[in-house]
Amino acid sequence: MAQRYPAAFDGIFSRVPVINWTGLQFAGTRNGMALMDGGWLDPAKVTLVHQATLAACDALDGLADRIVSDPVRCLTAFDPASLRCTPGQAAERCLSDAQVRAVQTLRTPFRFPYDLAHGVTEYPGWSIGGEDTPAFGPTGGWRAWWTGNAAPTVPPTPANGIAWVYGSGALQYFYARDPNVDPRRITPESVAARVREVSALMDSTNPDLSAFQARGGKLILLEYLSDYAQSPLAGIRYLEAMQRRMGPRQPGEFVRLYTAPGVDHVGTGAPALVDVLDSLTAWTEGGPVPPPLQLVEQEAKAPFKLLRSRPLCEWPRWPRYRGGDASLASSFECA
């Protein structure tokens, strides 16, 4: 709306936006293919990776609370190759070469051999943390969105991860426009003209929001950093593109990007509830920039007891524990 219809709204709150739709479909299909031929991680292996991630990164923010608060640092602190099986090691306690490659693939950008709409050439890899989050139903995190409960198949089954179902279907029906083609054979080169056409239609990647800014528009973005339905780094890359297009200070006048560590696409895994509307309304109507915001986690039934809270930090800051009651946002600072 801010990009294509800048006069429609004065203020916009965009939560976990799927900014680069074309890139997401190709990257999701690639990630599914990485799980084939021995790369699939069953639920026990997902838990293994999650526990290793926490062991390497959980306490980096000063508190072991099962939330990876600084995923940028964690991406370098935890190498999935550290779990590679050694001779004589029990298979359930390590990853095969194919499984290590699959995890590395998830973290790697998908690069196109030509420009998509607005000069975009890649879709970023995914973040880290929350791999074993029980987001909805019996599973979440990787099991809901990536690995599923069985290795990807052609055609997909309900046991497959959602990203494979969506991605392979998009490649067949949106890009190749052939329900009988094997999605593993579809490449960006083989459907280049159609990729460009759909990208221009679907991808909200235009970094020039000058028309929205000129009429006083305000935009608040929120990315969940353990979102495996789409990469939260896509929203971060979009802000960076705005800074390059409009100047490094311009977006700061009318755009705010916040990030919530440990939260899955549907808003579970860590404190995720936040009242953005009041702050956006005040900012839009000439008031101050949004004050410090707070994420809360509470019981789902009345009286909605508060379980814990965290500050909602503006990117690239993240919540660091400074002492006190670990369930209260006041015990953290945006570092």
CA-closest candidate to residue 262, choices 88, 129, 114, 81:
129
Q: Is the pLDDT of residue 335 over 90?
A: yes
Using one digit for the tens of pLDDT, what is the confidence trace for 28-64? 999 999 999 999 999 999 999 999 999 999 999 999 9
* Span 210-228, average pLDDT: 97
Q: Which of 142, 176, 202 is the last residue of a domain?
A: 202
88 within domain boundaries? yes
247 within domain boundaries? yes
pLDDT at 287: 86
Same domain, 215 and 245: yes
Same domain, 240 and 290: yes
CA-closest candidate to residue 291, choices 282, 300, 299, 303:
282
**Contact status, residue 164 vs residue 29, Cβ threshold 8 Å:** yes
How many distinct structural domains can be found in the chain? 2
pLDDT at 289: 86
Mean pLDDT of the chain, nearest integer = 95
2 within domain boundaries? no
pLDDT band at 139 (very low <50, low <70, confident <90, very high): low
Quote the domain boundaries for residue 25. Answer: 21-202
Q: Which of 202, 223, 244 is the last residue of a domain?
A: 202
Q: Which of 139, 172, 202 is the last residue of a domain?
A: 202
Same domain, 44 and 156: yes
Q: Is the pLDDT of residue 136 over 80?
A: no
Same domain, 47 and 189: yes
Using one digit for the tens of pLDDT, what is the confidence trace for 252-306? 899 999 999 999 998 989 999 999 999 999 999 998 888 889 999 999 899 999 9
Same domain, 243 and 164: no
Same domain, 175 and 214: no
